[in-house]
Amino acid sequence: MFPAFPYDHFALLSDRDIDALYAFFMTRTPVRQVNRDNTLPFPLNIRFLQAGWKLLFFRPPEPQNAISQTAEARGHYLVDGIAHCGACHTPRNALGAEIAGRAMDGADIDGWTAPALNGNTPSPTGWRASDFYDYLRTGSSRLHGTAAGTMSPVVHQGLAKLPDDDIQAISQYLVTLGGGSSALQEAAETRSLEQDAAKSSSSLATPGERLYVTACATCHFNAGEKVADARPELGLNSALFLEKPNNLLHAVLEGVSAEDGKPGVVMPAFRAMTDRDLAEIAKYLRSTRTDLPTWTDLEERVARTRSAGAAHD
């Protein structure tokens, strides 16, 4: 098998769970499918080379016990095994192997950024177990935003099948990775709202600010109130704190459909806006909601993101 199939994670499953998966597969209705020709370019089309890849990067682990005594241990089993979260949230080397020393450090995938889930999280506020639970169960966390893009099917098609106990276990384990926190949430939320309220009383000095007030502030402005569920205050959203603007640009260009995020909450796509206007909004948000360096080549990045989305459609 090519390592694009995450067997390095599935190898962690207990024999009991492997047997259960096999039993389920055998209940599926058989189909007739003619084998397709191998279209991988040389030398990737030489399967024998996979033996070398495995020698370098694959160490068969000892299967873990699926019936764990604690919720945290159960969450660890699910996250590292069948859920294979590290397949997206861990960066890879030039040969496509996960970099072991950078587990859950975040990585780019399909034009999006899968943020770090450990102490390197870009989120300005720590994730509590309850935040993880809300995000993974409903597709939205009040303080952290909405599941969209490549994360949406993970929540709504994959994790949706899990019982609450397993979602709780995953949430409790993720907090232990270092990106979670049980303190200072309310203070961070209040500080962001106060800053936004102060900005609202000033003149609209930049094109980005004028565009934001016109197109975005109706939903993303909560001065004097708590942050609205599924309509996040963007000063708390990790998309603005990432090294690249990928996630923000995808969300603005493609919106959040009824199938993504939290059921019943829809964000329209803003593809009708020009590349320059969208770049101005991103520039304004980055400069006013964070203390981080300005993103560069924003207009070109918007154009590339727009083209990638159109090709995908």
- Domains belonging to the chain, first-starting first, are 7-22+42-175 (no CATH), 185-312 (1.10.760.10)
pLDDT at 277 over 90: yes
Q: How many CB atoms lie within 10 A of CB 216?
A: 17
3-state secondary structure of 32: coil
Alpha carbon separation from 99 to 53, 88, 133, 216, 299 (Å, rounded): 14, 12, 27, 38, 32
What proportion of the chain, given as a percentage, has pLDDT over 70? 85
Total Cβ atoms within 10 A of residue 178: 15
**pTM of the predicted protein model:** 0.86
Residue 267 is classified by DSSP as B
DSSP 45-68: T-TTHHHHHHHHH--PPPPPPSS-
Residues 175-183, mean pLDDT to the nearest whole number: 72
Supply the DSSP symbol for 235: G
Helices 275-289, 298-312: inter-axial angle, 10-degree rounding: 120
Cα separation of 64 and 15, whole Å?
9
Taking only the tens place, the pLDDT of each residue in 87-133 is 999 999 998 999 989 999 999 998 999 999 998 988 888 899 999 99
Burial of residue 290 (CB within 10 Å: 0-12, 13-18, 19+) is middle
pLDDT at residue 183, rounded to an integer: 43
CA distance 29 to 265: 36
Please state the rounded mean pLDDT for residues 292-313: 86
